[in-house]
Amino acid sequence: GQNIDQPTEMTATEGAIVQINCTYQTSGFNGLFWYQQHAGEAPTFLSYNVLDGLEEKGRFSSFLSRSKGYSYLLLKELQMKDSASYLCAVRDSNYQLIWGAGTKLIIKP
């Protein structure tokens, strides 16, 4: 079966750095997405990786290792507004998105 694993919940301090990991086992691979979802709202696109390596976008970076079936989302200089769930999704060989259950990130002052 297809599976996306990410931690259920993480806690970090304002101003610090946090890394959210995602491991996947899917039928084929055609890209990995990270989405941010604030409570009660729709997910919004953060990043997309299809090749190995690091993609940096402001305070957020996303890393991919296809050989390891692994990605992480790195958030720097954490702000209180970063408190949200972060969803990892992998596009399989049929171009369907397989979603992880999300990681709830709690930021403390």
Partner 1 sequence: SQTIHQWPATLVQPVGSPLSLECTVEGTSNPNLYWYRQAAGRGLQLLFYSVGIGQISSEVPQNLSASRPQDRQFILSSKKLLLSDSGFYLCAWSLERVYGYTFGSGTRLTVV
Answer whether 45's CB lies under 8 Å from 1's CB: no
Taking the alpha carbons of 32, 38, 39, 42 in that order, is the dihedral positive or negative?
negative
Q: Can you tell me which of 53, 67, 95, 109 binds partner 1, judged by CB under 8 A?
A: 95
Beta-strand ranges (E) seen in 26-69 are 32-37, 44-49, 53-57, 60-65
Query: With binding defined as CB under 8 A, does residue 74 bind partner 1?
Result: no
Please identify, among the stretches 21-29, 55-63, 75-83, 88-96, the one whose residues bind partner 1 according to the rule CB under 8 A: 88-96
Collect all residues with Cβ–Cβ distance below 8 Å to 12 and sequence separation of at least 6.
18, 75, 78, 105, 106, 107, 108
The binder of partner 1 chosen from 18, 20, 22, 33 (CB under 8 A): 33
Determine if 60 is a binding residue for partner 1 (CB under 8 A): no
Comparing CB distances to partner 1, the nearer of 19 and 44 is 44
Residues of this chain that interact with partner 1 (CB under 8 A) are 4, 8, 30, 33, 40-45, 48, 87, 89, 95-97, 99-102
